[in-house]
Chains A and B, each alone.
Chain A
Amino acid sequence: MSNISTTSHPINATPAKSRRPLFFATLAIIIFLIPLIPGIPVYWITLLDNIGLAALVAIGLILLTGVGGMTSFGQATFCGFAAYTTAVLCAYHGMSPWLSLFIAVAVTMLAAIVLGIITVPLSGHFLPLGTLAWGIAIFYLFGKLDFLGRNDGITPVPPLSIGSYQFFDSRSIFYVIWVFVIIAVFMTSNLLDSRTGRAIRALRGASSAAESFGVDTTRTKLIVFVYAALLAAISGWLYAHMQRAVNPTPFGVGASIEYLFMAVAGGAGHPAAAIFGAAFVTLLKEILTRLLPFLFGGQAHFEEVVFGIVLVLILQKSRMGLWPLVERLLPQPADPVIDRSAPALSQRPQPEAGRKILDLKMVRKQFQGLVAVNDVSFSIKAGEIAGLIGPNGAGKSTTFNLVTGTLPLTSGEIRYLDERIDGLSPRQIAARGIARTFQHVKVLTDMSVLDNVALGAHLRGSAGVASASLRLDRKEEAQMLAEAARQIERVGLGEHMHKQAGSLALGQLRILEIARALCLDPSLLLLDEPAAGLRHFEKQQLSALLRQLRSEGMTVLLVEHDMGFVMDLTDHIVVLDFGTKIAEGTPAEVSKHPAVIQAYLGADA
């Protein structure tokens, strides 16, 4: 699988744009006024009910697939868990539906945790295949179990009620459904616009970078997975009490595919797109089942055919889904406000200058027969700028990956401030104050520069899903954004702060990565070819910045090919060639060293 090139995901996310409160408030009011239109047919209200139920599932799926990059064929299964739970509790045991909501959601989330632990670590296309497998298995299980009524299901399920008022007809349950939908959109938008939201968005396309900044990607995936299941559970619970019956059919893989279709049709990474996608698919289905028999005579079964064709066409013509077409008509979201008065995040004390900060002993990395790093030993003192140089393929970037835990060592040991760090995960190493940039830039191109950089501050905050979706994290979020803005201005990208990272030049992206690394508040900063792609003036600026960081007590280790840049800036240089250390010393010593001259210029030079 390592060789498969992946150009894009089925659903391309645009950045979450939750900063359009006015628009969404208007939308909510319009939705709530619809049933009050005089003479509106019940049939339409029922359709809207169905759209709302589907939208709940699709919101979760957009978060999971469109934002988090995980395709799931199991969402209908989660609806089923909740629907069956509430049906059993209310129909057999006479429990109140409002009480059973909590139990149904809890059961579903528990199931999602178990299934998620199995499925979420699956890589690439094995993940959707995994969901497909248990989706089918559980569907059959629903239809075979006696206490779930086998294929007949459970009926009648009592309707929702408050006091003696029963939510029997489409019109009364409409409000219940859409209150849930609006809450779900609101909470999901908040979630995306937060510390956890950035981590979720980083799952797709930059998960190794996210790990290097302390994001537990497996856990984050599981969180999204369970969150999506929770929304599906609410939909399933509503469905059971609206239909007043449950049976396996609506919880099969066919239904899951339909939900996925909604997410694809909606497309973009915004939860509101889910409502659009749900409406599109529900209405399309309705039109097809009513219109096609009229066109082709009574017994035609063309719905599936047209359905499939539309799905293929959307993916062929507009892989972003249809939401971007709608979004063009909406007001532009406001840029996030940066609160400069927010108190600064706490900083770690820097180690005293001259102390051994990083110490490599006989570090070795072997890829089968190839020795990429051959028993290399060197150490770096706190408060210096050290350079790691060598011709292409000398093992410099591999050494970086060994220090940051991205690759495991074959043998040897690495110490950071006297603590052994080889064997630790990139996350644990990041938590100790080692930040890095990447030789091949790992930036989320469809996220703003500000959000990209704020990802670096992940470990300096603690807000989780609950506080983010309820917007209780605003104080910490303001601090993190203020810190990100400070670092962006410090590296000289201030004017680009609110642009999409994808609009920056490659050299600027490297600088962006430095700002992101600085957001971690590191003691040791590892820079992989920071000056590549920079113009002369920009290199001077970078030099000045690194000198300033050194004067603040930070230690810098950089890999760089621009010899002028390295010789001028560094206090200490290590030279690698074919994985082996061939020289070490001050810039002056190294530049006269015969082995170095030979490595760079050949034997006769």
Chain B
Amino acid sequence: MDSTILLFLLQDGITNGALYGLLGITTVLVFAVTRIIFVPQGEFVTYGALTLALLDTGRVPGTVWLLIGFGVVAFFVELWMSRHDLDARRIIRETLTKIILPCLIALAVIWLAPMKLPPWANLLITLAIITPMGPYLYTIAFRPVAEASVLTLFIVAIGVHLSMQGLGLVFFGAEGLRATPLSTLSLPVGPLVVTGQTLSIYILTLVTMAALTYFFNKPLFGKALRATAINRLGARLVGIRTSLSGAIAFVLAAIIGALTGALSAPMTTIYYDTGFLIGLKGFIAAIIGSLASYPLTVIAALAVGVAEALASFYASQFKEVIVFTLIIPVLVWLSLSSHHVEEEEE
């Protein structure tokens, strides 16, 4: 192998790694705030990618119907959960945020989609469709069990993943789609070519990582989110609205997921289950970052991406085997190094 091939492999690995990093960061974020190991993260990627690809062709993506469905269910779950202190204001607020809002978005999309807008406009529309799904999902699936153990939440997350992946198949079909690139920029760097697409992925990953790291350490609001994760009851006692924290985490998860999908859609063909596979690799990175550190997660994600790229060259047969085995020594190291604290059931 010559150095050019190595460079190509590295570039490929770093680009994929940056995508995994974005998802890894989101996994860490959601876990930090809600203690949910957010398996369905990958579905936001799929939804984002396929929505963008459909908008590119001027069609109305099925996700708008999904959005309305999510909103309506979330509306009823919300009313049911707050049935003991319902008042007119609350009902109006919930109607606005969970019924009117998705319907407006749907109408706008139906109106705009056939115009075949430029890629950046379609990207914005995609985000508008996918983002509200995050908090709706939180209300429907997770808020009723917000106090449960990490493991219960994990299994709930897997149930949500199954459902959302199934819905993806229903709404997008089994065929894969590809979107047009956001920018046609391409810069030659030595033997390599850096496209505007990959550049935007790098920038987005770095900015997200830096922003979240700052956000969780500095402003009061970030600290409030962290407090929620550490001790929900305690956080509530000092006046933090814990369900709001969860909803915000899910907004961020949905945005980042949809962006990741939208950015990867022009580079590779996305199927209804592609997001899950991308998500799993982000997941590995998040675990290596011990579900706590954003920079460590990004570094791990880059390592996963590079390892995957090298493996696909040297032992393409065993690419997945290698990538998923990578995690095991890390887990062993984590469990040996972390002071053993018992999760007592009390």
Residues of A within 8 A of B (CB): 1-10, 69, 71, 118-119, 121-126, 128-130, 133-134, 136-138, 140-141, 144, 204-208, 257, 260, 264, 300-312, 315-316, 319, 442
Contact = CB atoms under 8 A, between A and B. Distances in A.
B314 to A, nearest CB: 14
A123 B335 contact: yes
B259 interface: no
Contact of A207 (B141, B232, B342): B342
A381 B309 CA distance: 68
Contacts of A205: 344-346
Interface in B151-192: 151-152, 154-156, 158-167, 169-170
Given A124-B343, A316-B145, 20 more contacts: A1-B341, A3-B230, A6-B150, A9-B151, A10-B154, A10-B155, A122-B331, A122-B332, A133-B284, A133-B328, A134-B328, A137-B321, A137-B324, A140-B324, A144-B321, A306-B163, A306-B166, A308-B158, A315-B159, A319-B152
A442 B345 CA distance: 10
A134 B325 CA distance: 6
Nearest to B230: A3
Q: SS class of chain A's interface: helix, strand, loop or mixed?
A: helix
Nearest to B155: A10
A144 B315 CA distance: 11
B199 to A, nearest CB: 32
A118 B328 CA distance: 8
Contacts of B151: 9-10, 71, 124-125, 128
Given A136-B324, A442-B344, A308 B284 contact: no
Given A1-B341, A2-B341, A121 B158 contact: no
B335 A121 contact: yes
Given A2-B339, A308-B162, A315-B145, A128 B324 contact: no
A58 B141 CA distance: 25
Contacts of B328: 118, 130, 133-134
Interface in B291-346: 317-318, 320-321, 324-325, 327-328, 331-332, 334-336, 338-346
A207 B317 CA distance: 42
Nearest to A296: B170
Interface in B113-170: 141, 144-145, 147-152, 154-156, 158-167, 169-170
Contact of A136 (B35, B150, B320): B320
Contact of A10 (B149, B280, B344, B346): B149
A4 to B, nearest CB: 6
Contact of B344 (A6, A126, A129): A6
B4 interface: no
A160 to B, nearest CB: 32
A134 B169 contact: no
B217 interface: no
Given A121-B335, A123-B340, A137-B320, A315 B148 contact: yes
B345 A6 contact: yes
B50 interface: no
A6 B161 CA distance: 23
25 contacts: A4-B150, A4-B343, A5-B233, A6-B344, A8-B149, A10-B148, A121-B335, A121-B336, A122-B331, A124-B151, A125-B150, A130-B331, A133-B325, A133-B328, A133-B331, A138-B321, A204-B345, A206-B344, A208-B344, A300-B170, A304-B166, A304-B169, A308-B162, A308-B164, A311-B162
B39 to A, nearest CB: 9
The 6 residue pairs across chains A and B that have the minimum distance between CB atoms: A308-B163, A304-B166, A308-B162, A311-B159, A205-B345, A305-B166
A191 B232 CA distance: 38
A133 B161 CA distance: 17
B37 interface: yes
Interface residues of B, number: 56
Contacts of B345: 6-9, 69, 204-205
A175 to B, nearest CB: 34
B245 to A, nearest CB: 15
Interface of B: 35, 37, 141, 144-145, 147-152, 154-156, 158-167, 169-170, 229-233, 280, 284, 287, 317-318, 320-321, 324-325, 327-328, 331-332, 334-336, 338-346
Nearest to A444: B345
A62 to B, nearest CB: 14
A206 B346 CA distance: 10
Contacts of A140: 318, 320-321, 324
Nearest to A13: B345
B150 A124 contact: yes
A312 B335 contact: no
Nearest to B231: A5
A206 B339 CA distance: 17
A304 B159 contact: no
Contacts of B280: 136
Contacts of B141: 312
Given A4-B150, A205-B344, A305 B324 contact: no
B340 A257 contact: no
B324 A144 contact: no
A316 B160 CA distance: 12
Contacts of A122: 331-332, 334-335
A308 B334 contact: no
Contact of A307 (B149, B163, B325): B163
A8 B156 contact: no
A311 B153 CA distance: 11
A301 B170 contact: yes
B113 to A, nearest CB: 24
A140 B339 CA distance: 33
Nearest to B141: A312
Contacts of A208: 342, 344
Contacts of B148: 7-8, 10, 315, 319
Contacts of B37: 125, 129
B287 A129 contact: yes
B123 to A, nearest CB: 28
A401 to B, nearest CB: 13
A305 B325 contact: no
A304 B165 contact: yes
Contacts of B341: 1-2, 123
Contacts of B155: 10, 71, 260, 264, 311, 315
B156 A312 contact: yes
Contacts of B324: 133-134, 136-137, 140
B166 A303 contact: yes
Nearest to A211: B342
Contacts of B318: 140-141, 144
Contact of B154 (A4, A128, A206): A128
A206 to B, nearest CB: 7
A69 B147 CA distance: 18
A126 B144 contact: no
A71 B154 contact: yes
A310 B160 CA distance: 10
Nearest to B327: A133
B165 to A, nearest CB: 6
Nearest to A115: B328
Contact of B152 (A9, A129, A133): A9
A144 B345 CA distance: 42
B98 to A, nearest CB: 19
A300 B159 CA distance: 19
A310 B163 CA distance: 9
A205 B144 CA distance: 24
Nearest to A141: B321
A6 B231 CA distance: 10
